[in-house]
Structure 1
Amino acid sequence: MKHTFCFLLCLILTRSYGQEFIRGTVVDKETKLPLAFANLSVKNTDITFICDVNGKFSFVNHSQSNILICTYVGFKKAECIFHKNETIVIELEPVLNDLKEVVINAADNPANGIIEKVIVFKEKNNPENVKSFQYSCYNKIIYDYNFLGNDKTDSLQLRQKLRGTHFFMMESVTERKFMKPNLSEEVVIGTKVSGFKNPSFASIATDFQPFSFYNDNIKFFNINYLNPISKGSLKKYKFHLEETVMREKDTIYIISFKPKANKNFDGLKGVLYINSKKFAVQNVVASPAEKGKIDIKIQQKYSLQDNEYWFPEQLNFSIQFNHFPNEHTPMVIDGKSYISQVKLNLPLDKNGFGLQSVRLDEASASKDSLFWKKYRVEPLNTVDQKTYRVMDSIGQKKNFDSYLSIVEKILQGKYPLKCLDVDLSKTLLYNRYEGLRIGSGFYTNERISRKFSLGAFLGYGVKDKALKYGGEFIFRLLKNNEGQLGIHYQNNLIETGSYSNRSAEDNFLNFRRFIGYQYDAINEIGVSIHFRSFKYILWDLRFNQSKTTPKYSYEFIFGNQSFTHYNNSTVKLDLRFAYREKFVNSFHQNISTGTKNPIVFVSFSKGFKDFFKGDFDYTKIELAVEQSLYTRNIGATRYRVETGYVNKSLPYGLLFTGEGSHDKNMLLIMKNTFQTMLPYEFLSDRYVNLFLSHNFGGLVFKRNKFQPVLWWHNNIGWGALSHEAFHKLIEFKTKDKMYLETGVEFDNLIKINYFNLADIGFGVGGYYRYGYYSNPEFKDNIALRFTANISIK
């Protein structure tokens, strides 16, 4: 027995001594960046494995061979000698063409057959088709500069300024829960950002790339790229089986992909690692096929959960600003997300999901070292530690948090001045009636009270030489500012027709307000309550009493009465319903990320005669529905349908007008208006309008750098007016037949570099007015418009 034990002990020791533990990293020889999912094998053995998403690998060698063979798509094959318990770095040299140009008949291409099976199993393998799940995630993002080539001039002296630190660094820990079809809530329970004590923007770190690679379109920077594993992709993508790797009972197919030549669509290039078990994506490396101002690469790794579901395990991304600050030292953003503690098919309650899809926990910025030690997948290296130490010192000295508070206020349309906020929406306004309005508005901020705010505005029109002023008291019922009670007074101007739900679109980018020239002077006092209910409905209820004086020649005849001014007492309810609209709580506010569903606007007004001296009793209703849709291989469609009705004859300013935007001095396209119609050409007490636009994107034209974007527009309107004779001293038309216009727009005809970050694209559009309301002269039916947008391609 004793001899048997000694023999077994010697056998174990001999076996252990014969094994060699090897670890290392595979990197690009030129950039020194890690290569995710490189394929490795020990020469003359059956030992094969794939490195992880960070290019790292480790294995136990129980063979006599000490040579590693490494292959990776787009790089030359390399062999490396290793020694016992050694950490090695394998540098692979890029080849000129990263995807092999092999002409194979589609029917004989083995890669196509594999991709067809991937597409068949796509819906079953999509993690967001699981009934429900929850997980924890550690995120780390580093902003740095990539010093390329042998350029030693470094005109910005970045090497000296950084001094062994990253430019910027942030970490976060999130907990996410999901319930099919699309209920999702992610809470940032811990955050740490270099230079900041209270980083209110940390929630944006979770949304740099898609959660999984199974959507038909992969969206980067508002560009929809066709997924190579979407239905019909075999007609647009070229696939090549690069290698086949056996792993226990499964086979991993390594398939490269890129768009076929002469195919006009936004495509990706990269490598898919397909596991024969359910033909699921095990690993993927992908980036846009066309190089632009900004390059992005994603790397995703999936693992099998419960021996049934393939679920993301690690999500990496890399964003490089190719020419910012210059081409020798481009800025790079590298991010890593590690998913753990995955639980599937939990009995979640849909009522347990909040309004925000991503939000910051109030205590997220105050986590101690024990918290970070628990969640950090890999410890901080010396550069990371120095970044926090140096940047935190600089941030405290320069008071970075105070600059962050300014950014937060600007995003709310304000600018902070100690205990007061400047209201930017009431600062230096312009329209054709007043000319430039000199003045501003001020509100007390949270330094005085978080419960209430007192504000006032004052403005002087240079052209009309008149003062406008008013004040407001707001009591905040809820902490998120979506429950407010207010009292207001104003002596101001309101554009005729702006009582409609179009007034909700009054923002800085709504150029329609600049061409207004027909205004009513109002002296108004009112109370309001603003709140949200049922998660997706915003309510705004107001009672107003106003005296209105038209600032144009006008008389309203109603029965035996003549009105050149009038009193109006109304109760008005505005409602906005956006089903499944998603919000990210960032910068101390809810930022909408939109919804795929239609957005509904309802405006209901009731006027009361003889109540607070009101002159008219009436009911006014308006309804609008708008939506943006993206259809693969077709492009993006945007529509808005709106209608309104008034049950009584009312003065001009309370009816419907102002839907036109044709102005010879303002040659910009104005969304959801008639481009060939004069601002106040038609008057209605009931109407229906349709604004329909389609963006073909780059599907039509794509010739190297010249890639104009084609838009097609169709606008249709109808309206009617009862008792036209009641309105005196003013000219107008009615559109009781169809008003028709069609337009074509070409964006990005000319591109101008913008600080090496993006291109400002300029384009031109033309609209044609036809049908019943076309003008006698052809040139009067044409409206030319110019466009401007920002592009990273």
Structure 2
Amino acid sequence: MPKTRFFFLVLVFSVTCIPVFAQSDRLSFQIIDQSTGQPVPFVHIKALNRESTGTTSDVRGAFSGRIFNEKDVLVFSHVGYQRREIPFSLLLKNPVVYLVQETQDMLLFEFTAGENPALPLVRKAIGNRERNNPEKLESYRYASYNKMVATLDGLSENPEVDDELANFLEGGHLFLSESYSEVKFKRPNKRNETVKASKISGIENPIFAAVSTSFQPFSIYTDHIKILEIPFVNPISEDGMRKYDYFLEDSLQTDWGKSYLISYQPKSGKTYRLGKGLVYISSRHYALENFLLKPAEDIGQINFEIQQKNSFDGTHWFPEQMNSIYLFSELDFEGRQVKLINQTLLTDIGINDLDPKEKISAIGVTFDLKREYDWNQLRLDSLSSREYLTYDRFERLDPKVKRRLNNGANLLAYLSTGRVKLGVVDLIPNRIFRFNQYERFGLGLGLSSNETLSNLFRVEGYFRYGFQDQAWKYGGSLGVLLDPEKDIRLQVGYSQDIEEPGRSLLPRGKSFSTSGSVYRSFLMSRVDEVQRYFFSYGHMPFKGFRYKLIGSVENRISILDYTETSPPDGFFVDFTATEAGVELNYLGGESTTRIGNDIVSMTLSYPVIGLRMTKAVPSLFGGDLDFWNTEFKFQHQWSTGNALNQVHLTAHGIWGSDLPISYLNTGYGIKVQQGDRFDLPLVFPGFLQTMRVYEFLADRSIHVNYSHLTGPLFTKKLQGLAIAPQLKFHQSFAIGTLSDPERYDFVSFQTMERGFWESGLELANLIKLNSGFNAQGWGFGLFYRYGPYSLPDSGDNLRFTISLTAAF
């Protein structure tokens, strides 16, 4: 594979997952796996015949010898490795210990006399989760040194060993980045990480610097450990007790009590979203001293191992070191797979000592790179020869190559904002093409100023030409950023465009219903011509929450080319609406960063809550209408065991008299209108699969949907694909009312007073095909419409669908 492709793929992965690390003191000895050359974390080291004297290697395989003396013989033991004894006096001369792997089938263990001794310890660890969870502290702070290395699996740290790769890597790794940051946290969810220093091989954009919770979660006391958005059942949880087998392997006396080493693996016949590994449970508060998790089975294109070491300060347990290892099975060079290693080492830890009045930025990750730091002091450990050579190789790149690499990195970063930076302006890609049933194909251009021109204001504009309606659309705005930390913005603008009547005005956002919203926009065939003047004042007072004060003056013309007859006299077809109101949005657990002048969400976050309320004021700026208009949205997604649950609720209400059709809800359907040749039979969450677009009309309505995805019924792996069917149950209900329905008789519609019912069943992931970093899952589904609004022909109530999923 060409090296430019390696670098590009590493950047793509890095911009979506960006982690952080830090440590405490220099360690003198290291334990290495003899076959792989990689560090072995969490090895038990005891002094022979002095069982009360011992320690454990950290996530880098390192340990301190300060508690041992020259006469000691050290015993090294670890699950999966041969036990080894070495005189401490020999270690003082050669500070590297090599361990040899051995195969051990833990299923051979049987407990016949009494209870498994590991189970009481696991139960006590579960019972003390709230006490030991760092996210339950009132506050904490720490400094973090973070290092991310993209390399090739099995590559020795000694460049001379791998001569065959000299021409490609020149003795270094594929990619290397370091960062130093400061983190502050206050309950319930105020957390900010400020990157103070960043060093990246060949790249200047600090957004690619690693931060502390991107590759693995900070807390290991949740029911599920999320890796790349996939929830793995935590062995230290009630659900874990039902799905894992535990084995007490060893114990060790430490400075703060006994440390019990327990290995775990899935019970026979269970593997889906389960892990295997080690937990070290301390007798002090039954906290997790060390934690190691890897997938119980090969999960496809990306496999991982996460490690965490916690320390005790006399009162609280707190993370001290974290390490994540990701192996990309689809990327290889001369038989070696690409591997990403991310280390986080924490120092200057303070618990419950933040000033209650201290303000914490609502933005999750911010950058303050003004000060120059001595990297030799920040690193705590020196770089290896390969790591130094990695920086050196990028420094010696041809300036043109380096410029292209930085341009590519900047492009990836800005794409997450929906923009492409072109000097002092940004190109807005979603303004270039537009396709729907009314315009068919629309071609245009959208440009905006960026922070290169000014950090204070932004000027934006667009135009588009629709080839079917043969009309130009255009608009522009001026925005002023009043407070970057709280994202306080003032915006005014103008547009001359088309708009679908009854469409949702809440922000689309990122959730499980995003794909359905995009497809629903494609199905638009009814429009109003809208000339709009608008303003907004937005503020993000705390993490995840935003509000906007909004106002607009709209001059609308309803294009009623779809009606059966003409509307009655006095019906508003051409009118002005002057509105003012508020928009509230909340994303639970949202993690954000700033790119340019934009705040970007780095992960999918739940729950999603949105509320929009406006009042149309008659006579103000020529307004013809008087009404209250409200819209509410709630979405949540959570796991229970191996199952995934999703809830979607949407409600709309408008109160007023003589309402034009522009503001009435037109139903929640995603099925094309009868006679339309185009129908994409995919399942789109958040919509009714058997309801046709524009089939219903309502001034007040509500739609609720619940879906439940089971774990795989069974798994069978074949070459290049897998059969892992999962059942997904859907239940949906919608109801609505319409005041004075006779007023709208010129349009074909139904009302929903009696309630619309729909149930569905998908057989998802019947076949999973490897595709790049993830797997494409294919299956099928069946949805049925019943109740008062079922159709006379029972066959018309059925809809067969294709189930398409994508996951790591």
* Shorter-chain TM-score above 0.5: yes
Aligned to 1:385: 388
The structure-2 alpha-carbon separation of the partners of 1:452 and 1:481, relative to structure 1 and needing over 3 Å to count, comes to farther
| Residue 484 of structure 1: aligned partner | 489
Say if 1:432 and 1:219 are closer, same or farther in 2 by CA, change over 3 A.
same
SS in 2 for 1:737: coil
Structure 1 counterpart of 2:57, from 51, 56, 61: 51
* Equivalent residue, structure 2, for 1:185: 192
Q: Which of 412, 417, 420 is 1:407 aligned to?
A: 412
| Equivalent residues in 2 for 1:4-83, closer than 5 Å | 24-43=29-48, 46=51, 48-59=54-65, 62=69, 64=71, 68-80=74-86, 83=90
Go from structure 1 to structure 2 and tell me whether the alpha carbon gap of 1:552 and 1:504 turns closer, same or farther (over 3 Å shift).
farther
State the match for 1:6 in structure 2.
Answer: none
* Residue number among 763, 766, 778 corresponding to 2:782 in the alignment: 766
Question: Residue type matched to 2:430 in 1?
Answer: S
Q: Which residue of the partner structure matches residue 789 of structure 1? A: 805
1:367 aligns with 2:372: yes
- Of the candidates 550, 564, 567, which is equivalent to residue 575 of structure 2? 567
Distance 1:500 1:36, change over 3 A: closer
Distance 1:160 1:120 in 2: 55
**Contact 1:676/1:781 (<8 A) preserved:** yes
Q: Secondary structure at the match of 2:269?
A: coil
2:652–2:699 CA contact under 8 A, matched in 1: no
Deviates further, 267-276 or 339-348: 339-348
Equivalent residue for 2:687, pick from 670, 673, 679? 673
SS where residue 119 of structure 2 aligns? helix
Q: Contact 2:578/2:621 (CA < 8 Å) preserved in 1?
A: no
Cα 1:421/1:375, change in 2 over 3 Å: closer
For the 8 Å contact 2:201–2:394, the answer to whether it is kept is yes
Q: 1:708 and 2:725 equivalent?
A: yes
- SS at 2:591 equivalent: strand
- Residues 345-397 of structure 1 show CA distances to partners (whole Å, capped at 9, x for unaligned) of 2253266222023322242xx5233xx23322102233222222222343854
Q: What is the CA-CA distance between 1:24 and the residue it aligns to?
A: 3.8
Structure 1 pair 309–455 and aligned structure 2 pair: CA distance change class (3 A): closer
Shift of 1:248: 6.4
* CA 39–617 in structure 1, closer or farther in 2 if over 3 Å, else same: closer
Distance 2:398 2:150 in 1: 16
For 1:701 and 1:594, the matched residues in 2 are separated by: 30
Match of 2:611 in 1: 602
Cα drift, residue 653 of structure 1: 1.9
Residue of structure 2 equivalent to 1:328: 335
Query: For residues 295 and 98 of structure 1, do their structure 2 counterparts lie closer, same or farther at Cα, with a shift above 3 Å needed?
Result: farther
Assess if the C-alpha contact under 8 Å between 1:625 and 1:642 holds in 2. no
C-alpha distance in 1, partners of 2:506/2:297?
42
- What residue in structure 2 maps to residue 207 of structure 1? 214
Q: 1:709 to 1:202 in 2, by over 3 A?
A: farther
Distance 2:206 2:540 in 1: 29
After TM superposition, give the deviation of residue 504 of structure 1 in Å: 7.2
Secondary structure of the structure 1 residue equivalent to 2:521: helix
The 8 Å contact of residues 362 and 485 in structure 2, kept in 1 or not, is answered as: no
Cα pair distance change 1:426/1:201, threshold 3 Å:
same
Deviation at 1:261, TM superposition (A): 0.9
Q: Residue 733 of structure 1: SS of its match in structure 2?
A: coil
Contact 1:583–1:593 under 8 Å retained in 2: yes
2:303 matches 1:295 = yes
Distance 2:316 2:78 in 1: 27
1:746 has 2:763 as partner: yes
Counterpart residue type for residue 698 of structure 2 = S
Task: Give the SS at the match of 1:211.
Answer: coil
Native 8 Å contact 1:619 1:648 kept in 2:
no
More divergent stretch after superposition (719-728 vs 203-212) = 203-212
Q: Matched residues in 1 for 2:508 and 2:257: separation?
A: 61
Q: In the TM superposition, what is the alpha-carbon distance from 1:470 to its structure 2 partner?
A: 3.0
1:195 alignment partner AA? G
Query: Which residue is equivalent to 2:24?
Result: none
Q: Unaligned stretches of 5+ in structure 1?
A: 1-21, 150-155
SS of 2:671 mapped into structure 1: coil
Partner-residue secondary structure (3-state), 1:174:
strand
Taking the aligned partners of 2:322 and 2:283, their CA distance within structure 1 comes to 22
TM-aligned CA distance change 1:245 to 1:368, over 3 Å: closer
Name the structure 2 match of 1:592. 601
The one-letter code matched in structure 1 to 2:788 is Y
* Residue 740 (structure 2) pairs with residue 723 (structure 1): yes
Deviation at 1:715, TM superposition (A): 1.4
State the identity as a percent.
27
Q: Structure 1 residues 105 and 159, CA, compared in 2 at 3 Å: closer, same or farther?
A: farther
Rg (Cα) greater in structure: 1
| Secondary structure at the counterpart of residue 672 of structure 1 | coil
- Cα displacement (A) at 1:586: 4.7
Q: CA deviation at 1:786?
A: 2.4
- The correspondence for 1:87, drawn from 91, 94, 100, is 94
Structure 1: which amino acid aligns with 2:474? Y
> What does 1:102-117 correspond to in 2, within 5 Å?
102-105=109-112, 107-117=114-124
Alignment partner of 1:125 out of 128, 132, 141? 132
Which of the residues 253, 273, 282 maps onto 2:280?
A: 273
Give the conservation status (yes or no) of the 8 Å contact 2:494–2:534: no
* CA distance in 1 between partners of 2:409 and 2:445 (Å): 23
- Structure 2 counterpart of 1:649: 658
Matched to 1:538, the amino acid is: Y
Q: Report the AA paired with residue 286 of structure 2.
A: F
What SS is found at the alignment partner of 2:670?
A: coil
Whether 1:455 and 2:477 are equivalent positions in the alignment is no
CA distance in 1, matches of 2:483, 2:137: 35
Tell me if structure 2 keeps the 8 A contact 1:143–1:168. yes
Normalising by structure 1, we get a TM-score of 0.88
2:706 aligned partner: 692
Instruction: Give, in angstroms, the shift of residue 495 of structure 1.
Output: 1.1
- 1:486/1:548 CA distance change after superposition, 3 Å: farther
Instruction: Give the SS at the match of 1:675.
Output: strand
CA distance in 2, matches of 1:218, 1:165: 33
Q: Is the 8 A contact 2:148 2:210 kept in 1?
A: no
1:135: how far off?
1.7
Which residue of structure 1 lines up, in the alignment, with residue 791 of structure 2?
775
8 Å contact kept, 1:203–1:586: no
How far is the alpha carbon of 1:689 from its aligned partner? 1.5
Q: Given residue 437 of structure 1, which amino acid in structure 2 is its aligned partner?
A: G
Distance in 2 between the 1:461 and 1:303 partners? 63
Aligned runs of 1:505-654 on 2, under 5 Å?
510-522=518-530, 524-535=531-542, 536-554=545-563, 557=567, 561-563=570-572, 565-578=573-586, 581-588=589-596, 589-592=598-601, 598-632=607-641, 634-654=643-663
Q: Secondary structure at the match of 2:122?
A: helix
1:596 & 1:637 partners in 2: Cα distance?
A: 13
Q: Secondary structure at the match of 2:108?
A: coil
CA distance in 2, matches of 1:641, 1:623: 6
Greater CA drift, 218-227 or 373-382? 373-382
Q: Would the alpha carbon gap of residues 526 and 106 (structure 1) be closer, same or farther in structure 2, given more than 3 Å must change?
A: farther
Contact 1:139–1:173 under 8 Å retained in 2: yes
Instruction: Answer yes or no: is the 8 Å Cα contact 2:308–2:321 preserved in 1.
Output: yes
Q: Report the RMSD for the aligned CA atoms in angstroms.
A: 3.0
> Quick check: 43-52 or 187-196, which moved more?
43-52
SS at match of 2:415: helix
Which residue identity is paired with 2:303?
A: D
Conserved 8 A contact 2:362-2:541: no
Deviation at 1:782, TM superposition (A): 1.3
> Aligned-pair distance for 1:80?
4.6
Q: Deviations over 1:239-297 (max 9, x none)?
A: 11112233468322211111101236521211122222232222222212122221211
